Structure 1
Amino acid sequence: MSDQDLGTQLETQFNDVVRRLQSKQLFQSNWDIATFAIFFIFIGAVLTLILLVLIRCCWGFCCSSSPRKKHGKQKVGVDNLALEP
């Protein structure tokens, strides 16, 4: 595919978008509307997750009054004395 073909395709798509904006008919079918909605739902979900991560990183640790202590693994259960010599 040559650069001229790519340039022609981009120009055609740009002209199509400009014509749609001028005619105020952005969506030609229901599929266009569905694609638009799915795209913005995806972008909204990604931005929400990023916001939650930022909230957790920035404000999650500084607001707690008592620092969290990391405890080592405590033994649970009984020792199996049959395995010892």
Structure 2
Amino acid sequence: MGPSADELRQELEATAEEVLGRLKSRQLFQSEWDIAAFVVFLTFVGIVVLLLLLVVIHCCCCCTSPRPRKVSPMKEKPKGVDNLALEP
């Protein structure tokens, strides 16, 4: 079975007190590794947000602008001269 409600409440209170203590002492990070991990996390989140923004911009710009339809190369009329020397 899982932890009881009292145990869960005590654990949450302990975590909240620890976070509030760090905020009061203005030391959110215990070591340089914490700072590095936070920077890596923020970089990752920033890149994901940037990519999502680019996708939204691409979809909005491409879907609303009228463009001429591309003709597939197979449906185009062949240009140039046939090389009759290659035929049997």
TM-score (norm 2): 0.68
2: CA distance between counterparts of 1:70 and 1:8?
A: 69
**Cα shift readout 1:27-52 (whole Å, capped 9, x = no counterpart):** 11112111211111111011011001
Aligned residue in 1 for 2:15: 13
Aligned residue in 2 for 1:67: 68
Within 5 Å, give how 1:1-85 maps onto structure 2. Answer: 1-63=3-65, 66-69=67-70, 71=72, 74=74
| Structure 2: runs of 5+ lacking an equivalent | 76-88
Q: Which has the larger radius of gyration?
A: 2
TM-score (norm 1): 0.70
Q: CA RMSD in A?
A: 2.1
Number of residue equivalences: 73
Q: Percent identity?
A: 45
- Structure with higher RCO (Cα < 8 A, 6+ apart): 2
| Structure 1: runs of 5+ lacking an equivalent | 76-85
